[in-house]
Amino acid sequence: MITFPLRSMVLAGALAAAAASILPAPAVARTIFDGSWSVLIITDRGQCDRAYRYGLQIVNGNVIYDGGGPITLQGRVAPNGAVRVSVASGGQRADGTGRLSRDRGTGVWRGAGSSASCSGTWEAERRG
């Protein structure tokens, strides 16, 4: 059994901490839009439900659905805030476009599916 004096262990720990503090941090391609968002989907035309509210995450400019269920969501926020999202679930599909600012956003959407064709607007606000 090999034993190390306490002083050597403390010195080794201090050197490791000092070395870690001078290493460069990994590059992260964050955007000003990254974070948690609440999105209100409003139906203006068609036989879809009047309104839905969803939680979304934006990570490195990619839009990610924050809930459960069989939903496929693909989306992207450009550096200027332009948003394009496609959502599909079962036989339904919707596409949305719009623009985000640092804390809010608005846009339009159009959907089609096995039972109805709908369209409307959306509003987003940053959570937390």
pLDDT in tens, the chain (128 residues): 433 333 333 333 433 333 333 444 444 568 999 999 999 999 999 988 899 898 999 999 999 998 878 889 999 999 999 999 999 988 889 999 999 999 999 999 999 776 669 999 999 999 97
- Residue 88, judged by CB atoms within 10 A of its CB (0-12, 13-18, 19+), counts as middle
What does the block give as tokens for 45?
Answer: 């035309």
In terms of DSSP bridges, do strands 62-65 and 51-59 run parallel, antiparallel, or are they unpaired? antiparallel
Q: Could you give the residue ranges of the DSSP H alpha helices within 1-128?
A: 6-22
pLDDT tens for each residue of 55-92: 999 999 999 998 878 889 999 999 999 999 999 988 88
44-71 residues labelled b (16+ CB within 10 A) or e (exposed): eebebeeeeebebebeebebebeeeeee
- Residue 39 near residue 123 (C-beta atoms within 8 A): yes
Residue 29 pLDDT: 61
All structural domains of the chain, each given as residue ranges with its CATH number in brackets, are 35-126 (2.40.128.120)
